[in-house]
Amino acid sequence: MILLALASCTTPGLPGGAAPVAAPVDAAATRETRALFASLRALAPTHTLFGHQDDLAYGYGWTGEPGRSDVKSVAGSYPAVYGWDVGDIFAGGKGPLRYDAAKADKLRKWILAGYRRGGAITMSWHMPNPVAQTDAWDVAMPAVAAILPGGDHHAAFLTELDVAARFFRSLRAPDGSLVPVIFRPWHEQTGNWFWWGAAHCTPAQFVGLWRMTVERLRRDGVHNLLYAYSTDVFDTPTAYLARYPGDDVVDVLGFDDYHGIESRATLPQFEQRIRIVVALANSRGKIAAVTETGLQALPDATWWTDILGRGLDAAPGAAWVLVWRNANPANDRKEHFFAPYPGQKSAADFVDFTRDPRILLEDELPDLYARRR
C-alpha cells in the first residue's frame, strides 16, 4: 500500500531563485485534476506508473473484447496509465474531420472504465493535416501558419478544437467527477514527420499553436486537463526546450524515445535524455514522464529488465512510462506491438519488470484522485 503525502508536494528551492509553484497550470483545474497532478509529483521520485496505448480496445490477436487487456493477460493487472488518441472521436478516411458519435462513445467508455478502476488517462492527437485534410504525416502541405490567427484555416481549426473540447467535457464519471486527462498535443515536434514538426514551422509558430490550443480549450470551459509537452529524441537541454511553449501552459515534461531504448549499445542516449527531462521537470515544479517508448515486436527476451528498467534507473523521477499499442495482426499492422501477449518471448521478463516495487500497474496504485479525502 502506497500512501501519498500530497501536502508535502513542494519542490526544493532553485539556487538563488524562488521555488517553482507545483500546481497545474490551469488555475480552474478540477479537484481531481489537481489531485492527479499532486499524486504524480509525489509518486515520481520513487515510483513509475506503467502505461500502454489503446490497451482496452484491442491487442495481439483480438479486437473489442470487453475486459481484455494484453498487459493484464500477461501480468495479472491492467496498466496504471491508459494512452488514447483524440483522433478516435472522428470518422476515418480523408476529408474534413467528421465527428463520429459511435466511435467517441466507445472511447469514452474505455476512458471511464480505466478511471473508475483508478488508472490515469493520457491522450495524444494524431490530427490530420488541417489544410490538406489527409493525415498527420502529410508534411507536403504547410499547415501551421494557415491555422494560426490571421491564417485561412484559423476559424475551421478552432472549430475542430471545440469538438475535442466537447469530448473532454463529456468524460463525466458516475460519481459526477470529470475524468482528468493528460493531454499531449503536437507531440514529437522535434521530428519532421508530423505537419507540426520542426521542419514545418518556426519555434515561434509552434509556441503560437500550443498557446492557441490551450487558450481555446480553456475558453471552451475545459478544466480537466494536464498539458504534456512531449518531444521526440534530443541531445541537450537546449534542444529539448527549443520549442517549449512556457511554464504557464505545460504541466508535464515528457519525451518519446524509441531509439535510445533499443539495446545496451544505445541505452546511454536514453539515460542522458531521462536525466535531462527529470532535472528540468524538478527545477520547474513539473512532472517528468517517458510519454512513449517501446521495442517493436519485442525480439529481445529480457528487454524489460535489461534495457527499459535499467534506463529508468538512470534517473529516478519519471512519473510514468508508456509503451505503444499492440496492433491486432488480423486486421491491422503485422508485428506492430510493444507490450507482450501470453506466450510472447519477453512475457516472463515483463512480469519480472512489473514486480519491481518501483513499477506500478493498476492494482498497486494509491488513490490518484484523492477520492477518499
Q: Which of 56, 46, 35 is nearest to 108 (CA)?
A: 56
Out of 26, 55, 70, 85, name the contact with ligand BMA by CB under 6 A.
85
Between 85 and 160, CB nearer to ligand BMA: 85
Cell of 325: 499499442
- Exactly one of 188, 271, 362, 364 is catalytic; which is it? 188
CA 111 → CA 122, 153, 170, 277, distances in Å?
Answer: 9, 31, 11, 27
Say which DSSP state 327 is in: -
Q: Should residue 371 be labelled a site residue for ligand BMA when binding is judged by CB under 6 A?
A: no
Among this protein's residues, is 364 annotated catalytic? no
Site for ligand BMA in 288-317 (CB under 6 A): none
Between 37 and 194, CB nearer to ligand BMA: 194
Q: Should residue 94 be labelled a site residue for ligand BMA when binding is judged by CB under 6 A?
A: no
State the CB neighbour count (10 A cutoff) for residue 78: 24
β-strand partners of 81: 51, 120
Nearest residue to the partner ligand BMA, using Cβ: 126
Between 37 and 167, CB nearer to ligand BMA: 167
β-strand partners of 121: 82, 181
In angstroms, rounded to a whole number, what is the distance separating the alpha carbons of residues 149 and 163? 19
From the CB of 126, what's the least distance to ligand BMA, in Å?
A: 5
From the CB of 83, what's the least distance to ligand BMA, in Å?
A: 9
Phi, psi angles (nearest 5°) of residue 14: -80, 145
Do 52 and 82 contact (CB within 8 A), yes or no? Answer: yes
Out of 98, 116, 126, 259, name the contact with ligand BMA by CB under 6 A.
126
Q: Should residue 98 be labelled a site residue for ligand BMA when binding is judged by CB under 6 A?
A: no
Out of 98, 109, 259, 333, name the contact with ligand BMA by CB under 6 A.
333
In angstroms, rounded to a whole number, what is the distance separating the alpha carbons of residues 210 and 246? 10
Q: Should residue 325 be labelled a site residue for ligand BMA when binding is judged by CB under 6 A?
A: yes
Among this protein's residues, is 271 annotated catalytic? no
In angstroms, rounded to a whole number, what is the distance separating the alpha carbons of residues 294 and 337? 9
Q: Should residue 259 be labelled a site residue for ligand BMA when binding is judged by CB under 6 A?
A: no
Q: For cell 529516478, what's the residue? A: 316
Between 123 and 145, CB nearer to ligand BMA: 123
Alpha helix (H) ranges present in 11-153? 31-43, 70-75, 101-116, 144-147
From the CB of 276, what's the least distance to ligand BMA, in Å?
A: 24
Q: Should residue 109 be labelled a site residue for ligand BMA when binding is judged by CB under 6 A?
A: no
State the CB neighbour count (10 A cutoff) for residue 92: 11
- Exactly one of 32, 160, 271, 292 is catalytic; which is it? 292
Residues that bind ligand BMA (CB under 6 A): 85, 126, 324-325, 333, 336
- Residues marked active site are found at 188, 292
